[in-house]
Structure 1
């Protein structure tokens, strides 16, 4: 078994070889995500990329590069498939680079929505960005009472 990876905000070990939390063609009830990804996939990609990169790349920078690659010949799927691979690696999700490329080439918008839903299932709100997700996790940890240890009785 490979060395365990850890969730970026919580530090919880991630089990290797897990499946995606939702299917590629999962309809879901999030009309906003569907509309945003359908009409402006660069926004969905930017939000996913910021969380996957743990804030080192901003949503707007990733979205702009995605849009530029789309405009210059439709090569955005190569860029976005790399982030799918990064997301899989962070959480030990099954799959491989060839599958990532194929999914993004043939069904880019479905792949972006699946990645977004995966981050939501992992406790992130990609609309908030990395910094606010970290602050939210820290606030939740600060308000959680420490575990009580039982003392031995005679």
Structure 2
């Protein structure tokens, strides 16, 4: 049960969606709410550095050889299941083959993810990071989502199902009635 004394960073009445409180194990930033009690600028930082690719060697290798898979997994989670991993990865590959510049597409997902989790735009702009360090950027985004509690191999719907079974403390499905609206209190 919710105990304000053990969770001082949460508001006194935790948000409830579909009858389930958003647990402290998953940041409220997933619904556009800022951690740390709200207020001014971003208090959050990336959980790993841009050049921390070797913190997850299997993903680093996969991203180096086949970035479309990593990008697809990131896009599915960031889009909250509205696009599939396969569709996003295929579009990424198509852009790579036709234009050769996937950074123009992938940087938008970094920006979207940063806004969802109130992450700073560091060390420089999202488009510059993806333009010059595409592999490192994708690896960092993957690790960030993984550190937020997602099992990246399951995709959005698999993570929601896992949360509904009570296997982990994660965010419930997005509410209906807009991106952040719906049944909350």
Please indicate the TM-score interval, normalised by the length of the shorter structure: 0.7 to 0.9
* TM-score, normalised with respect to structure 2: 0.67
- Quote how far apart the aligned CAs of 1:133 are: 0.3
- Quote how far apart the aligned CAs of 1:19 are: 1.1
Q: Flag structure 2 segments of 5+ consecutive residues without an equivalent.
A: 1-14, 30-34, 36-40, 170-185
Q: Residue 19 of structure 1 is aligned with which of 45, 52, 64?
A: 45
Q: Does the C-alpha gap of structure 1 residues 123 and 57 become closer, same or farther in structure 2, counting only changes over 3 Å?
A: same
Q: Let me know the Cα RMSD of the aligned residues.
A: 2.6
Q: How many positions carry a matched residue from both structures?
A: 137
**Aligned residues of 2:53 and 2:139 also touching (Cα < 8 A):** no
**Aligned residues of 1:24 and 1:111 also touching (Cα < 8 A):** yes
Aligned counterpart, 1:109: 135
Q: Does the C-alpha gap of structure 1 residues 31 and 73 become closer, same or farther in structure 2, counting only changes over 3 Å?
A: same
Q: Secondary structure at the match of 1:140?
A: coil
* TM-score, normalised with respect to structure 1: 0.80
Larger radius of gyration: 1
Please show how residues 85-100 of structure 1 align to structure 2 within 5 Å. Answer: 85-95=111-121, 99-100=125-126
Runs of 4+ in 1 over 3 A off after TM superposition: 9-12
Structure with greater proportional helix content: 1
How far apart, in 1, do the equivalents of 2:111 and 2:21 lie? Answer: 21
**Aligned residues of 1:124 and 1:133 also touching (Cα < 8 A):** yes
How far apart, in 2, do the equivalents of 1:28 and 1:134 lie? Answer: 28
Give CA-to-partner distance per residue, 1:47-84, whole Å, 9 cap, x none.
Answer: 00000000000000000000011111222111100000
Please show how residues 1-154 of structure 1 align to structure 2 within 5 Å. Answer: 11=22, 12-14=27-29, 15=35, 17=42, 18-95=44-121, 99-140=125-166
How far apart, in 2, do the equivalents of 1:109 and 1:10 lie? Answer: 36
Aligned counterpart, 2:38: none
Q: Flag structure 1 segments of 5+ consecutive residues without an equivalent.
A: 1-5, 144-154
Aligned counterpart, 1:147: none
**Aligned residues of 1:46 and 1:61 also touching (Cα < 8 A):** yes
